[in-house]
Amino acid sequence: MNDIVINAVLSLSALGVAAAVILYFVAQRFKVIEDPRIDQVNELLPGANCGGCGYAGCRQFAEAIVKNESLEDMNCPVGGDESMKEIASLLGLEVEEQLKMIAVVRCNGTFNNAPEKVQYDGPASCEFEHNLAAGSSGCPNGCLGLGDCVESCNFDAIYINDERGIPEVSEKNCVACGACVEACPRNIIELRPKGKKDRRVFVSCVNTEKGGPAKKNCSVACIGCGKCVKTCPFDAITMENNLATIDPEKCKLCRKCAPVCPTGAILEANFPMRKPKEGQEQSDKPVDKQIELKHTTTVLMYPEVPKPAKKAAPKKDTPNDTQKQSKTDQGGKEA
């Protein structure tokens, strides 16, 4: 009995040793040596794992940097230029400064501008409503206001303004990761350069319908009139599919386009109040209307669109007036 136990123990020990030797040689044969610089680069990244760099997470981004041995077309929107400069110094590479970007909501279909025509009764998801209907205002391209962009943001940089019914972006918290851009089913949110002194001009509309239907659903919709295109001296505005678009690279922030827009679809962010023209008093007629958004330093300026004057209806002659006129004519003839 003792011999059987001893033989079993020796056999199992021999099998264990043989398996260990085999595993050792297999591990040595297929061993992958990881570059220690990957861990060093990963420590310099913010660890947000937001995907704004184009990779699944910060670790994958660090691996791509070390593997490519170049920082060209590489950028961490959360860490910004500071993180990229530290990585460049560590690896002995050169890096170019990137333009600071920010998410911009290109829709101004608030409760006042785009009144509710129908009531949506379903899951609180923009993706679901987008596939189901045009929206409560009737605009097939406008913001649905159900907050898919808010849920996608990991930095509390976007929220739904309950008074206006559309999302607003906090310049302080936005890192331009692009999560809200991907989450919006109507492609209303885009990343644009912050601009000098955080000032920028953009068309706050993505509706491609013609002027009549667009204006019917939203009073501040772009109607494709082309006045802004003709006014811009830098060819920064193009018109395509009944919609004007401002190129931020060509735009010089001259602000000549906003006043000529008949619907007020062009918005100006963080600009000072316009000075009244010569001979015009400040209290005569406001040129701009400033709205300071909640929880953010952004100040949007909306052009004051003059309403067309109503023509006085022609005065109709009443029967009494006709009788008086005939008596006057008769009196004149008798005289």
Q: How far apart are CA 100 and CA 194, in angstroms?
A: 6
- The letter for the amino acid at 31 is K
- Inside any domain, residue 114: yes
CA 216, chain centre distance (Å): 24
Query: For residue 80, what is the domain's CATH number?
Result: 1.10.15.40
Q: What is the pLDDT of residues 39-53, one digit of tens each?
A: 999 999 998 888 888
Range of the domain at 62: 36-91
Residue 168: closest CA among 98, 106, 124: 106
**pLDDT score recorded for residue 235:** 95
Q: Is residue 1 part of a domain?
A: no
Contact status, residue 142 vs residue 107, Cβ threshold 8 Å: yes
- The reply to whether 105 falls in a domain is yes
Q: What is the pLDDT of residue 284?
A: 39
Q: How far apart are CA 139 and CA 209, in angstroms?
A: 9
> Are residues 59 and 187 located together in one domain of the fold?
no
For the chain, which ranges sit under pLDDT 70? 1, 276-335
Pair type for strands 189-193 and 167-169:
unpaired
Residue 95: how many CB atoms within 10 A of its CB?
19
Kindly report the pTM of this predicted structure. 0.73
Would residue 12 count as lying in a domain? Answer: no
**What values do phi and psi take at 148, rounded to 5?**
-60, -35
Residue type at 279 in one-letter notation: G
117 and 70 assigned to the same domain: no
| 80 and 105 in a common domain | no
Answer whether residue 6 is part of any domain: no
Q: Is 256 part of any domain?
A: yes
Same domain, 70 and 173: no
Same domain? For 51 and 79 the reply is yes
Given 3-state DSSP classes, what are the helix, strand and coil percentages for the chain, each rounded to the nearest 5? Answer: 35, 15, 55
Same domain, 135 and 111: yes
Any domain includes 321: no
Listed residues 91, 122, 154: the one ending a domain: 91
Q: Provide the token pair at 272.
A: 């000072």
Structure tokens at 184: 């919006």
What is the model's pLDDT at position 26?
85
Q: Indicate if 244 and 197 belong to the same structural domain.
A: yes
Q: Are residues 137 and 230 in the same domain?
A: yes
Where residue 129 sits, what CATH number does that domain have? 3.30.70.20
Does residue 2 sit within a domain? no
Give the helix/strand (H/E) hosting 160: strand 158-160
Asked if 144 and 260 sit in the same domain, the reply is yes
| % pLDDT > 90, the chain | 53
* Same domain (yes/no): 169, 190: yes
> What domain count does the chain have?
2
Which residues are bridge partners to 104 per DSSP?
190
Residues 119 and 244 in one domain: yes
- Looking at the structure, do residues 83 and 227 belong to the same domain, yes or no? no
Residue 48 and residue 71: Cα distance in Å, rounded? 19
